[in-house]
A and B are shown apart, each in its own frame.
Chain A
Amino acid sequence: MEKNIRKNHEQKNPKNIRAIIECYEEIPCDPCEIACKYGAIIIGKPITNIPVLDMEKCTGCGLCIANCPGLAIFVVCENYTDTLGTVSLPFEILPLPKKGQRVKTLNRNGQYVCRGEVVKVIETKSFDRTPVVTIAIPRNKVDEVRGIEIPKR
């Protein structure tokens, strides 16, 4: 079943870009559901349901990233280039990294994974002060990289 969904997604979406919602607890929260204008995130009632991503509808646009109060959504692209993938993540710490900047990327436990290059930094009014940073990294690291090292203060 999962294999078919993945296959479908690859066929429809040659860049293989998709959202990953790392939210696995039943907490009362549903802004991701209405943030997605493609209806790809489903929570329903009660709002403590764990969000489910419809891979067929997800275009990887990233609107959900800034709208999640838990900062738990990432957009991952495995085919950015032949060798590189990207991870887009919410980043609310100043100073913001700049496009072209080389950064140290971190995993879910804050441990160093690899170097990456900042490809994009988006701040819009609708993101309400949650900038979204996209980093290019080796393709095989897209499921690991979830953070950027912040400079020592």
Chain B
Amino acid sequence: MNRWELIVIGSGPSGLTAAIEAAKNKVKVLLIDENIKAGGQLFKQIHKFFGSSAHYSGIRGINIGENLIKKAEEVGVKVLLNRIAIGLFKGKKVVVKQGLDNKGKNIEIFEADKIVIASGAAENAIYFPGWTLPGVMSAGAVQTMINVHRVLPGKKILMVGSGNVGLIVSYQLIQAGAEVKAVIEALPKIGGYEVHADKIKRLGVPIYTSHTIVEAKGNLEVEKAVIAKVDKNWQTIPNTERILKVDTISVAAGLKPLIKLVRMADCKCIYIPELGGWVPIHNKNMETTYSGIYVAGDVTGVEEANTALEEGRLAGIAVAESLGYLDKKIACNIKTEIWERLKDLRSGPFGENRFKAKNEIIREY
């Protein structure tokens, strides 16, 4: 079947909840994902999630992923994996490629009444001499290797970046049997939660703030990393260089929303650094400036799994309502509750900037 009421692109937490909420309300949903497994980043998250006990806190990401996939199947979502959405055209046509260009390539075109783009975000690279040596990789790649494939990228790691990703992956590297020689952070203060930093401090990992990586050295692969202290203007301070004997440099320097499909559909975007860069403008229904195209999760701004789960629910409910499957009043009540929970998740010193940024998006709509 090539015509669907709703096509959800991306089966991470927000894509899954969007598909589930819509299908629960009798919408005919197709969920596509480029990977061989649904769940997006959830399958790398072997740690217990934070957030509200009313919604998945204390549960490991891997189990949340399993539960959601099971639920999606139960409510009749059609899931197609190994399908990458390579185009999004007028009339809400989604062009999907299966297989590799030189093996088993198959192109399909699907049409939809509504689309939810839940394509997530990708990691930033940072450039320094030696960054192309084998052994330099993103923290997300490290996490996939150790938690999904059970392969250690190396034995002695330098983690660049002390946001939650850097801190959590450092902990998981130690669980996997590697030694984390240090975490460095360019800012004068640790970026992620104190409790995440405390976990690795207790295991003897030093965290050097106001430090940057100067160079990766090695012949055919990373053998050493040179780090140095930086001043207020990000310039390295002479004579503060330190050499660390490492075989892996894991870069956790933030993520940026993957908005290619959003741009292809001509949805208006806005640049908000606090959310990772260019993000689609949307309203309280998560609908973009292109009628019938919705967005949810990290593609709307880099946050976390809990907000992704909620935004997906919003989009799913809004789609069901707009297709006439859900009573306006009931939809309104559910959406109000979800916005309350989002507000809670975006409170406190870590959430404030995101809360303001998200409000700015809605104002721009």
Name A's B-contacting residues (CB within 8 A): 22-31, 33-35, 45-48, 67, 69-72, 92-94, 106-111, 128-130, 146-147, 150, 153
Contacts and interface: CB of A to CB of B under 8 A. Distances in A.
Interface residues of B, number: 37
B202 A28 contact: no
5 contacts: A28-B351, A92-B175, A93-B175, A111-B204, A129-B60
Nearest to A93: B175
Given A28-B351, A29-B51, A69 B58 contact: yes
B204 A153 contact: no
Contact of A70 (B174, B199, B349): B199
A27 B348 contact: yes
B285 interface: no
A46 B59 CA distance: 20
Contacts of A48: 344, 347-348, 351
Contacts of A71: 195, 199
Given A27-B193, A69-B49, A45 B202 contact: no
B290 interface: no
B137 interface: no
Interface in B38-87: 47-53, 57-60
Q: Is the interface of A mostly helix, strand, loop or mixed?
A: loop
A65 B53 CA distance: 16
Contact of A108 (B51, B201, B350): B201
Interface in B309-365: 344-351
**A-B residue pairs, 7 tightest by C-beta:** A110-B204, A70-B195, A48-B348, A26-B348, A31-B58, A69-B48, A147-B202
Given A33-B53, A45-B344, A109 B201 contact: yes
Contacts of B179: 153
B196 A106 contact: no
B306 interface: yes
A29 B204 contact: no
Contacts of B231: none
Which of A47, A106, A150 has most B Cβ within 10 Å?
A47
Nearest to A147: B202
Contacts of A35: 58
